[in-house]
Amino acid sequence: MADHFRITLAQLNPIVGDIAGNAAKARSAWEQGRAAGADLVALPEMFITGYNTQDLVQKPVFHQAAMDAVRQLATDCADGPALAIGGPWAEGDKLYNAYLILNQGRIVSKVFKHHLPNETVFDEVRLFDAGPLGGPYAVGNTRVGSPICEDGWHEDVAETLAETGAEFLLIPNGSPYFRNKYDIRLNQMVARVVETGLPVIYLNMVGGQDDQVFDGGSFGLNPGGALAFRMPVFDEAVTHVDLQRGEQGWTIVPGAVAEQPDAWEQDYRAMVQALRDYMAKTGFSKALLGLSGGVDSALVATIAVDALGAENVRCVMLPSEYTSAASLEDAEAVAKALGVQYDYVPISQSRAAVTETLAPLFAGRRADITEENIQSRLRGLLLMAISNKFGEMLLTTGNKSEVAVGYATIYGDMNGGYNPIKDLYKTRVFETCRWRNANHRDWMKGPAGEVIRPSVIDKPPSAELREDQKDSDSLPDYPVLDGILEILVDRDGSIADCVAAGFDEADARRVEHLIYISEYKRFQSAPGTRLTNRAFWLDRRYPIVNRWRDRG
């Protein structure tokens, strides 16, 4: 029997629906594995279609095209190592999430996912049929077990594979990022090692897909749970991993262990990567946003520059008579520090024209939030016009605190195609700005050093839609608001939980009410980077019409 086995792990970034492009990436990885003398080249879960496909995978012409592409890959990759690739597979009236093993010109083995996740961003119970508990597949005379993603989080699949002769586990994943998820993955995989006594190789994809970001960080664990190698987070990488057989069975030959950045860096990288991929995969190369002088738009501008480069970002100041001199100075300073194009488009004249047009209809009624929102909607109108004229995607800049309680104007400052900070609470916005000022990485296209000056971060937040307006006029202070939101939204807690945590009951009830009545705004809001497992969209699906309130 062989005492050495080489796997080429392809931690790559597919595009949903680009079956030909994904197949080309798979062939390139296979060629690298062949050149390196690999026995097996492995790609992540559902790689041939990209992931998460949502309902697209159920379209027969789509999954048949994916199956045909896998068959063609088998033919193209006949002379060399085996190739393992994830994709949909239909048999009879059933559709499976499959891991397909190609060798010598044909599909020699099929593994069907058994445990279908049906929570947070996953709807696999409605998309796929559950496969049976199966055994390992053979590559030469070595038997490999491949629980697919969720199957690796359940002991029954791994134990069945071990009992039926698997010599190590190769687990292909489409596992999206949320904050501190690596530790959860690692703990789960250590459990599989302890239960089976087998080495585990965890292979994940990278790249942004709508709101989700796949963060890579593929790794291997030896019997006993020791970390054998770790690939980079968020970066595409092809790595050759060796296993050797000894008296106690197979072990992974130790390799490079990539640095694991802290949560602040990973969140920021996720926002940059999500925007970069969303733009590229939807066909946009340039972005624009309204730069108000406030902290949210400053952070989004910085993320955009780090994702796309300063030459591909336009910032527009749209002042009214309520825009302070400090905001004008701060916005210009941020634009200069980032090196972006900076345009100045006052809205006072347009606002006066709209006010005059509506005056006969509004006669006898005092000015209120309606007039404030006209300003925001004029800005949205003008920014969308610029977007249309120059083919630049408009970015929206509302943080999670504002998105949660509806502190934003629909068809106004909510206009846009993508929102990088949609899942970032305001208190984290402040700290993320400070982190970016103090840190620079080679994956950032923007300049090093202080790009968001302290006056932007430290001044009291304001929408500047009326004289001397501050966010605290309408909302609890952000540390209080975010603390309540973290309980009610992120932890699905109650009013009683908020009170037990030291928050005022009246504040908690008011925030809860604002969350519920703002659902219609979120339903129409732009997608944004998912940083937690309670992001607004697929993680949290609530009715728009909803009269329930926590009366306990």
The catalytic site residues sit at 45, 113, 149
Residue 141 is encoded by which pair of tokens? 């005379």
d(CA 35, CA 139): 18
Spatial separation of the C-alpha atoms in residues 311 and 286, rounded to whole Å? 8
Measured in degrees and rounded to the nearest 5, phi and psi for residue 297 equal -65, -30
Other Cβ atoms closer than 10 A to 223: 18
Please state, in angstroms and rounded to a whole number, the distance separating the CA atoms of residues 252 and 266. Answer: 27
Question: How far apart are the C-alpha atoms of 520 and 286, rounded to whole Å?
Answer: 29
Quote the tokens at residue 56.
């697209």
What is the number of other CB atoms lying within 10 angstroms of the CB of residue 187? 10
Asked if residues 451 and 337 have their Cβ atoms less than 8 Å apart, the reply is yes
Contact (Cβ atoms closer than 8 angstroms) between residue 158 and residue 195: yes
Tell me the longest C-alpha to C-alpha distance in the chain: 92
* Contact call for residues 223 and 169 (beta carbons, < 8 A): no
List of residues 6+ apart from 156 with CB closer than 8 A: 133
Q: What residues does 82 pair with on adjacent strands?
A: 40
Which of 455, 407, 414, 457 has its CA nearest to residue 432? 457
Q: Which residues pair with 16 in a beta bridge?
A: none
What are 389's two structure tokens?
Answer: 């004229």
Contacts 24+ apart (CB under 8 A), 517-525: 517/406, 518/403, 518/404, 518/405, 518/406, 519/543, 519/544, 519/546, 520/410, 520/544, 521/403, 521/406, 521/408, 521/410, 521/414, 522/403, 524/410, 524/414, 525/396, 525/398, 525/403, 525/414, 525/419, 525/422
The tokens describing 371, both together, are: 């007039």
The position carrying tokens 């990485």 is: 441
Based on its alpha-carbon atoms, the radius of gyration of the chain, rounded to whole angstroms, reads: 26
How is residue 208 written in tokens? 């942004």
| Per-residue tokens: 423 | 């899942």
Tokens 């980032």: give the residue: 338
In this structure, are strands 393-394 and 106-112 parallel, antiparallel, or unpaired?
unpaired
Side by side, which strands form the sheet with 94-103?
Answer: 106-112, 94-103, 82-91, 40-42, 4-11, 237-246, 249-252
